[in-house]
Chains A and B, each alone.
Chain A
Amino acid sequence: GAGVSQSPSNKVTEKGKDVELRCDPISGHTALYWYRQSLGQGLEFLIYFQGNSAPDKSGLPSDRFSAERTGGSVSTLTIQRTQQEDSAVYLCASIKGGGQETQYFGPGTRLLVL
C-alpha cells in the first residue's frame, strides 16, 4: 500500500513569509510525528498526535510553529514569519497504534529560507 507522503518535496521561501508543510500518513495509522532534521544532524522531535488526544507540542521551538491534524489523518505543519535558522528537512512519521512500534517516515520536505 501507499506509504507516508509529504508535500511539497522542496520549498524555497523568503525570510518573514509563512509556509505550510503537509503530511499524509498511512491510512489507519493513529499516531503521527513531526521531526526537524538540520543538515547533517539527527532528528529533533517537534510534535506528536495520537488519535483524538491533545497533541504533545513540547518539541516546538517557538510560537511561530504550529501543527494541526484534521480528521485524524492529514497533518499540516505551519511556520510563521520564517527565519533562516528554520531551514531544514521536515520529516513526518506515522505509527499504526501509537506505542513502541515501527515509525514509517515520509521522504521529508526540504525547506530553504533565504
Chain B
Amino acid sequence: GENVEQHPSTLSVQEGDSAVIKCTYSDSASNYFPWYKQELGKGPQLIIDIRSNVGEKKDQRIAVTLNKTAKHFSLHITETQPEDSAVYFCAASPRDNYGQNFVFGPGTRLSVLP
C-alpha cells in the first residue's frame, strides 16, 4: 500500500522568511496530493492540492510542486506570518482505491517567530 513520509518534523522560521516542507510517496498510482493545515484544537483544513497532471500550483503565498518521477511533492510558503504557525500534513491518494483514499504523512510543526 501507499506510504507517505514527511520532512522535517519541526520547522522554525523567522517572520517573512520562506518555509518548505517535503513529502515522498511510494505508490506510483497516486495521482492526487492535498495539503492540510491543523491549528491547535481544530481539525485539519485543506490549504492547497495538486493533481498529477500538473507540476506546480500556486495560491497567493502558498505553492505546491510535484515531481512524479521522483515521487515527491513539496509545500512552499513565502513571506511567512505568525498565523502560519500550525501543523501541516501532506497526503497522497491512490487512484481507484475504495476506502482509504488518503494516506497522510506524519505532519510538520511549523513555528513562525516574530
Residues of A in contact with B (beta carbons under 8 Å apart) = 4, 33, 40-43, 45, 48, 50, 53, 56, 58-59, 91, 93, 99-100, 102-103, 105-108
CB-CB nearest in chain B for A50: B98
B88 to chain A, nearest CB (A): 11
Among A43, A48, A53, A58, max chain B CB count under 10 A is at A43
* A to B CB contacts below 8 Å, 13 in the list: A4-B43, A41-B107, A42-B104, A43-B44, A56-B100, A58-B100, A93-B43, A100-B93, A102-B34, A102-B46, A102-B49, A107-B42, A107-B43
Known contacts A107-B41, A107-B43; A42 and B98 CB within 8 A of each other? no
Among B32, B46, B49, B100, max chain A CB count under 10 A is at B100
Judge whether B101 and A105 touch: CB under 8 Å: no
Judge whether B45 and A105 touch: CB under 8 Å: yes
Judge whether A59 and B93 touch: CB under 8 Å: no
Judge whether A100 and B32 touch: CB under 8 Å: yes
Interface residues of B, CB < 8 Å — how many? 24
Closest CB pairs A-B (n = 8):
A56-B99, A105-B43, A100-B32, A42-B106, A43-B104, A48-B99, A100-B93, A102-B46
Known contacts A42-B89, A43-B89, A93-B43; A103 and B106 CB within 8 A of each other? no
How far is it, in angstroms, between the C-alpha of A100 and the C-alpha of B106 when the chains are bound?
20
How far is it, in angstroms, between the C-alpha of A108 and the C-alpha of B102 when the chains are bound?
18
B47 to chain A, nearest CB (A): 10
How far is it, in angstroms, between the C-alpha of A91 and the C-alpha of B89 when the chains are bound?
14
Judge whether B101 and A48 touch: CB under 8 Å: yes
